[in-house]
Structure 1
């Protein structure tokens, strides 16, 4: 991941509403949720939710698909993996095991599975 992509993703997550949406979609996994369900879950109006969803999608953290007349959003797992990998790749001079269990688990979970 390039630094500009990482900065874009981090900026997108730097907004409380977008962070709530992203965490909600991480929990939902690949099936995701319809835009209206997301708006209800994070107590956002449709216009605000749409704006935030587009920013997260532009940052490569979520993806949208059409499901009939609805648009569903889901976490873009590979985008999340790239960001987490970028943030932790140089931990403890390339030895994440020295940084504690959280970094080590993140590496195994997010980088080790298909990425």
Structure 2
């Protein structure tokens, strides 16, 4: 499996940016990616005042490369770019292994706490 990390810095983002990003994921982004062909899973990760990231895992390197090429053409107009005020760092990677623990996954726009 092959992945892509798309990370925006929050270091100089306006106050409340991470909360706006959380709301965007819940209201729009989650549903958008739930039906993306070739996507195995996506996670949204963040560190308050540091960064916000989308991490994608695809069925093949070809699907990853196609998604990456398309995203790079529109990254400047991405909602997270508008909210953070900075362009993302985009980095492909290989997934060596994934394990599903006994607690499993819950596919929802807001992760249970």
TM bucket normalised to smaller: under 0.3
Higher strand share: 2
The structure that is helix-richer by fraction is: 1
Higher RCO (CA 8 Å, separation ≥ 6 residues): 2
**TM-score normalised by the chain length of structure 2:** 0.27
